């Protein structure tokens, strides 16, 4: 299973959010502050448990450059 699918599945399971809500999350909805990873699903952002936090950060670090224009 690709990493992005595992990340989406874990977000659905951990936070009981519908997949449509998870699909709308952007990279700016994941916060990495003071050694803690948070996901902005509401106010305040929710902490991400340690084992999953690493996987989430790995996924965000491996994403291809989406700002590249193609002709």
For 24-54, write each residue's pLDDT tens digit. Answer: 999 899 999 898 999 999 899 999 998 899 9
Using DSSP bridges, classify how beta strands 46-47 and 30-33 pair: parallel, antiparallel or unpaired.
Answer: unpaired
Per-residue pLDDT at 65: 62
Per-residue pLDDT at 53: 93
Say what the pTM is: 0.78
- Locate the domains of the chain by residue range: 3-62
Per-residue pLDDT at 5: 86
Q: Rounded to whole angstroms, how far apart are CA atoms 53 and 67?
A: 25
How many other β-carbons are positioned within 10 Å of the β-carbon of residue 51?
Answer: 8
Cis peptide before 44 (omega within 30 of 0): yes
């Amino acid at each position: 299973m690709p990493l992005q699918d595992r990340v989406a599945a874990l977000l659905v399971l951990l936070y009981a959010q519908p997949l449509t809500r998870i699909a709308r999350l952007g990279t700016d909805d994941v916060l990495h502050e003071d050694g803690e990873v948070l996901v902005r699903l509401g106010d305040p952002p929710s902490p991400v448990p340690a084992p999953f936090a690493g996987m989430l950060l790995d996924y965000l670090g491996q994403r291809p450059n989406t700002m590249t224009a193609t002709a």
